[in-house]
């Protein structure tokens, strides 16, 4: 019977893009970061993660996440080869991609999606269940590695992803409401997790502690 293992997961959102500034739904469009607008927040994130050692490094395979990972230099500092992971992509916004709230607000299907807190399928795209299924598959891979590595020290994992991905992880680990689970660009969360491979009914992932990344100024000495 496999013993429970500890995982410290740090998930951060990509930096600012032009579509973020224009408040357009990006979804799985391969939009790059915009400079100099992205630079200040990326620098804060780089400093916040400086000196940390990660056992595993993952990134969404979309360009804005790859650029964020390169900017913060975590892979280079750890000497680790990052895994570029399609399962960490943003939710597929389908027909809404490239559009703003003002362009969509009068569409009945969009209002229904808003009212469903993301559970209704987006025309031509995904729904919340699709995103959670992708994340479940990815977390299963992380859990498998954690069990194989074993040891008393937590497996430390960095994931560079998207706002929707981190929202769903917060909902799972922190029991946060949908609209309260957002994080800004180049910001994220740190979770202290325990994976119990023998759990039969409850979620095998249990969170004992969560915190913001970078830490708020009021929380730093």
Active site residues: 14, 90
The backbone torsions φ and ψ at residue 6, rounded to the nearest 5 degrees and listed phi first, read -105, 140
Largest CA distance in the chain: 55
Q: What span, in angstroms and rounded, lies between the C-alpha atoms of 217 and 114?
A: 33
| CB-CB contact of 26 with 34 (8 Å) | no
Residue corresponding to tokens 């915190």: 211
The backbone torsions φ and ψ at residue 129, rounded to the nearest 5 degrees and listed phi first, read -65, -35
- Angle between the 163-174 and 128-149 helix axes, to the nearest 10 degrees? 70
Q: What span, in angstroms and rounded, lies between the C-alpha atoms of 184 and 174?
A: 17
């Amino acid at each position: 019977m496999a013993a429970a293992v500890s995982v410290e997961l740090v998930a951060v959102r990509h930096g600012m893009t032009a579509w973020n500034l224009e408040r357009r739904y990006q979804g799985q469009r391969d939009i790059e970061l915009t400079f100099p607008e992205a630079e200040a927040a990326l620098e804060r994130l780089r400093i916040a993660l400086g000196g940390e050692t990660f056992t595993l490094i993952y990134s969404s395979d979309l360009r804005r996440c790859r650029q964020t990972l390169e900017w913060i230099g975590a892979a280079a500092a750890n000497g680790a080869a990052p895994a570029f992971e399609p399962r960490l992509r943003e939710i597929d916004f389908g027909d809404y991609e490239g559009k703003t709230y003002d362009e969509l607000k009068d569409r009945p299907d969009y209002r229904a999606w808003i009212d469903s807190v993301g559970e209704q399928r987006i025309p031509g795209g995904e729904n919340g269940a699709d995103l959670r299924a992708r994340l479940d598959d990815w977390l299963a891979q992380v859990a498998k590695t954690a069990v194989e590595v074993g040891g008393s020290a937590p497996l430390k994992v960095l994931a560079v992803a998207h706002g929707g991905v981190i929202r769903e992880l917060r909902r799972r680990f922190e029991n946060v409401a949908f609209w309260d689970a957002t994080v800004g660009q180049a910001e994220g969360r740190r979770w202290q997790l325990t994976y119990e491979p023998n759990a039969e009914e409850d979620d095998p992932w249990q969170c004992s502690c969560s915190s913001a990344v970078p830490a708020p100024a009021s929380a730093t000495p």
